[in-house]
Amino acid sequence: MKNHRTEVGIALAMLSGLYGASALAQNTPEPVEGHLIAAKNAAGFDFTGTLARLCIAPPMVTAVRDAAPGPAPARDTWFTEPAKVFDNLYFVGSKIHNAWALTTTEGIIVIDTLFTYNSEEEIIGGLKKLGLDPAAVKYVIISHAHGDHVGGAKLMQDRFGSHIVMGAPDWDSIEKSVNGYPQGKPKRDIVADDGQKITLGDTAVTMVTTPGHTPGTLSMLFTVKDNGKPIQVAYSGGTAFNFPSTVPNFETYIKSQSKMAAAAAGANATILMSNHTEFDSAIPKIKMLALRKPGEPHTFDIGKEAVARYFTVTGECAQAARVKLMQTGK
Ligand SMILES: [Zn+2]
């Protein structure tokens, strides 16, 4: 994370290089280059982290890994304070990963749970610091079963009896995993379907299945309130290309980006959230909230058009990767 700004700088420089080259080539860019330019234009200054991760030398992956979690990194690399962000939405994530508490009239819905090593301090500790009761967490929705989001699911299930919601293929991957859960696996609980609503009191979170990053990746739609004003959120559940690099896998991913773009537009979402702070700039947006003056828009409220551009970035970077794979025959 220390070199994040430098990386983004290099990424943008590389993309402007490409743009310059294509302009010289009379607007007939190579297909890969055309997708990269479309992604860069859509990213603007809103999604530089997403652009840098997906469009600049994404990894070649040969197989799904079932690695054991590594040792916990130093606390100062991940710890950050929790924060109230909307009337009914609280940040309980780390510097790198988002976790959210959505409060309702009947308890709390938590979205994503970080790693096993930091979920207790950030989520349970964070809720307490914010004056919220962790025992009131009735549902925990996991966007996908990678160690940086599912790490606290077992803890919430065991300690508070929270219901865990996940896509079927990701429940399967947990069951099949040999090395991934040395401290125990969450027990299979609620299997999310496309369009299903997880309802608690006055609040509902709508599931949108978006396979690609993992086969069971869940994206979501829900409403937050900003001083009483309802605002719609599109939560993108899986982003990076660390799935096996095959043309069909990229096609699945691309379809899901279009599907979620349409769902976000249909819901009039003007906020884009992700499960990595790198992709939705959650940390600076939370910091900038302190500078917000009365009447100014909320720092997370970027508008419908910007939300649409996010899915253009992810879709076009995936198109570039797909075309490259087709060209190289890999
Ligand atoms: Zn992941």
Neighbouring C-beta atoms of residue 184, cutoff 10 Å: 11
DSSP H or E segment with residue 116 = helix 116-119
C-alpha closest to that of 246 among 33, 64, 65, 56: 64
Strand ranges (E), 177-319: 190-192, 197-200, 203-209, 218-226, 229-236, 271-274
pLDDT surpasses 90 at 198: yes
Q: Where does residue 40 fall: left (phi above 0), alpha (psi -120 to 50 degrees), or beta otherwise?
A: alpha
pLDDT bin (cut points 50, 70, 90) of residue 57 is confident
* Residue 21 pLDDT: 45
Cβ < 5 A residues, ion ligand 1: 146
Using CA atoms, how far apart are residues 319 and 247, in angstroms rounded to an integer? 10
pLDDT bin (cut points 50, 70, 90) of residue 2 is very low
DSSP 175-202: HH-SSS-TT-PPPP-EEE-TT-EEEETT
CB 189 within 8 A of CB 163: yes
In the chain, what are the domain boundaries?
4-61+74-328
pLDDT surpasses 60 at 10: no
Give distance in angstroms: CA of 96 to centre of ligand 1.
Answer: 12
Written as six digits, the tokens of 147 are: 């160690």
What does the pLDDT look like over 117-171, one tens digit per residue? 999 999 999 999 999 999 999 999 999 999 999 999 999 999 999 999 999 999 9
pLDDT bin (cut points 50, 70, 90) of residue 24 is very low
CB 101 within 8 A of CB 92: yes
CB 29 within 8 A of CB 38: no
* Residue 322 pLDDT: 95
Express as a percent the part of the chain with pLDDT over 70: 91
- The residue to which tokens 């990595």 are assigned: 276
Using CA atoms, how far apart are residues 186 and 48, in angstroms rounded to an integer? 34
Mean pLDDT across 2-18? 48
* Residue 91 pLDDT: 98
Give distance in angstroms: CA of 290 to centre of ligand 1.
Answer: 30
Residues 6 or more apart whose CB falls under 8 angstroms from that of 252 comprise: 211, 212
What does the pLDDT look like over 73-101, one tens digit per residue? 999 999 999 999 999 999 999 999 999 99
Residues facing residue 327 across a β-bridge:
none
Give distance in angstroms: CA of 167 to centre of ligand 1.
Answer: 13
* Residue 1 pLDDT: 40
pLDDT bin (cut points 50, 70, 90) of residue 29 is low
Give distance in angstroms: CA of 115 to centre of ligand 1.
Answer: 11
Give distance in angstroms: CA of 213 to centre of ligand 1.
Answer: 7
Q: Which CATH class is domain 4-61+74-328?
A: alpha beta
Lowest-confidence segment of 1-10, 196-205, 240-249 by average pLDDT: 1-10
Give distance in angstroms: CA of 148 to centre of ligand 1.
Answer: 7
